[in-house]
Amino acid sequence: MLARYGASVLLLLPNQQTLTASVRRRLEHITCGDQVEFETDTKDGEVVTSIATRKNVLQRADFRNKTKTLASNIDQIVIVTAIKPVPDWQLVDQLIVAGIDMGVEVLLLAHKSDLENSEDLHQTHDYYKKIGHKSLITSLHDPASLESLDNQLTGKTNILVGQSGMGKSTLANYLIEHSEIKIGALSESSGHGQHTTSVAQCYPLGEDAYLIDSPGVRDFTATALSANQVSAGFLEIHEAAARCKFNDCRHQQEPACAVREQFEQGLISQQRMDSFARLLKQQSSL
C-alpha cells in the first residue's frame, strides 16, 4: 500500500487516516514527506518497505557543513514572519533562494498582524510583493485571513518554515482540525521563541494536500549553491543583472552595473543588497 511519511513512525494514508508503522532498518534515511510503500507483517504489524524517488528535498547545511534533510516532495514553502520575534530578513532571503532553487512555490506570511507596529512588517512585505512574491497578511484573530491562507495551500504539500516563535505550529494547529501539535508560549524575558517544535512533521490537510510543520531555525545555510543559483533567488537583482555590462558582474564597483543603478534609484532596497552580498560570500566559503 502507498502512504506519505509523516514523522517518527506515522504514515498518512490517502484517505487521510493515519497509521503507525515501523521502518525496515536499511531505510534509515526516510524523511518527512516521503512517499512510501508499506506492507502488513503478521509479526511486526505495518512495515515501511520502500521509499519512492523524491521529487525534491529541502536541505540545509548544519554548523559542521553536513547536509541535513528537512523534508521532501514539497510543492510550496511558506515562510512565516511576524513583528515579534524581530524578523531576520537575511534568513527569509535564504529560504526564498532555497525555494526558488528547488523550483517550488514560495509564499510569504506577515503573521500576527494583530500585534502593534505590524505596519513596519507589512511595508517590507509590500517590497517582496512588488518584486513578484506572493505574500499574505495573517492573524489568528482574523479568520478571513486564515481562510485566504487555507486557499493557497489547497492540493499542495506545504512546509511552514521560519524563525522560532513566529507562529508556525499555531497556524498549523488552526489549519489542521483536531491536531495535537505542541504550541509554546514566547518566553516573556527575551521575546525569543522556545523552539517548541523539534522535528518536521507532516499532516494531512484535505484531499491531496499536506502541511509540514518544521522546527524554528536561527539561520539557514542552503547546501552549496553557485553564484548564479543565489542570484536567481533574488528576483529584482536577477532581473536587473541581465542588463549589467559584465556577465560576471558582482554589483560592487563594476562600471555600467544595472543593479547598482536600480539601487541608487531606490528600486532595490539596502536590506536586499546587503543580504545578497552576504549570501554570495557565505556560499563561496562553503
Ligand X SMILES: Nc1nc2c(ncn2[C@@H]2O[C@H](COP(=O)(O)OP(=O)(O)OP(=O)(O)O)[C@@H](O)[C@H]2O)c(=O)[nH]1
CA-angle at 198, arms to 27 and 234, nearest 5° = 90
Q: H or E element: which one contains 39?
A: strand 35-41
Extract the C-alpha cell encoding 266: 531606490
- Shorter beta-carbon distance to ligand X: residue 164 or 283: 164
Give which of Mg ion, ligand X, none residue 164 binds (C-beta under 5 to 8 Å, depending on kind): ligand X
Give the Cβ contact number of residue 267 at 10 Å: 13
- Secondary element (H or E) of residue 2: strand 2-7
Cα separation, 31 vs 27, whole angstroms: 10
Q: Which of 33, 193, 204, 233 binds ligand X (CB under 6 A)?
A: 193
Q: Which of 94, 139, 173, 196 binds Mg ion (CB under 5 A)?
A: 196
Q: Does 87 bind ligand X (CB under 6 A)?
A: no
Least distance in angstroms from the C-beta of 71 to Mg ion: 14
Query: Does 197 sit near Mg ion (CB under 5 A)?
Result: yes
- Out of 215, 229, 239, 282, the only residue in the binding site for ligand X (CB under 6 A) is 215
Question: What is the amino acid identity at position 76?
Answer: Q
Question: Which CB atom, from 170 or from 283, has the smaller least distance to Mg ion?
Answer: 170
Task: Report 113-172 residues binding ligand X (CB under 6 A).
Answer: 114-115, 139-140, 164-170
Closest CA to 205 of 174, 164, 184: 174
Q: Which among 73-81, 144-152, 164-172, 199-207 is the span making contact with Mg ion, rule CB under 5 A?
A: 164-172
Given 15, 185, 188, 248, the residue binding ligand X (CB under 6 A): 185
Pairwise CA distance, residues 265 & 16, whole Å: 52
The size of the chain, in residues, is: 286
The Cα 268–Cα 286 span in angstroms is 27
Can you tell me which of 105, 184, 206, 282 binds ligand X, judged by CB under 6 A?
184
Q: Residue 80 Cβ, how far from Mg ion at the closest point, in Å?
A: 10
Backbone CA torsion sign across 53, 232, 128, 88: positive
Binding residues for ligand X (CB under 6 A): 111-112, 114-115, 139-140, 164-170, 183-186, 193-197, 215-216
Binding residues for Mg ion (CB under 5 A): 168-169, 196-197
